[in-house]
């Protein structure tokens, strides 16, 4: 299993817009073959900093999603609100 952790920093005034984008696609992402779970977390001290946590069957499933139209559309919407470069980690679950 692969865990994908993504840190996203948004313009403070765009936080609600991002949350709307995420809530609008969460179920669709979780329905992608190989996606086991998807969560959104908000930093306790910095209200414009979020983390997505997702679990994938394997790296092929994650890459298939990353190369999908759903990912492209979602990322295009979300990046309009960025206030910093996203940080991404792919982790092996132990």
3-class secondary structure, 26: helix
Q: Give the helix ranges, DSSP H, for 31-84.
A: 59-66, 69-78
Report whether 75 contacts 87 (CB < 8 A): no
Token output for 78? 């979300």
3-class secondary structure, 44: coil
13: domain range?
Answer: 2-92
The per-residue pLDDT for 94 is 78
Please tell me the distance from the alpha carbon of residue 24 to that of residue 29, in angstroms, as a whole number.
Answer: 10
- Could you list the pLDDT tens digit for every one of the 94 residues in the chain? 999 999 999 999 999 999 999 999 999 999 999 999 999 999 999 999 999 999 999 999 999 999 999 999 999 999 999 999 999 999 997 7
CATH number at residue 78: 3.30.70.100
Report whether 22 contacts 8 (CB < 8 A): no
The per-residue pLDDT for 93 is 77
What residues have CB less than 8 Å from 71, skipping those under 6 apart? Answer: 65
3-class secondary structure, 86: coil
Domains held by the chain: number: 1
């Amino acid at each position: 299993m692969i865990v994908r952790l993504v840190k996203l920093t948004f313009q403070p005034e765009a936080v609600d817009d991002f949350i709307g984008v995420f809530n609008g696609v969460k179920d669709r992402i979780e329905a992608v073959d190989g996606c086991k779970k998807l969560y959104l977390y908000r930093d306790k001290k910095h209200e414009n900093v979020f983390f997505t946590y997702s679990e994938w069957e394997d790296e092929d499933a994650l890459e298939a999603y990353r190369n999908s139209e759903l990912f492209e559309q979602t990322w295009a919407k979300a990046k309009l609100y960025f206030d910093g470069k996203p940080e991404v980690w792919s982790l092996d679950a132990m």
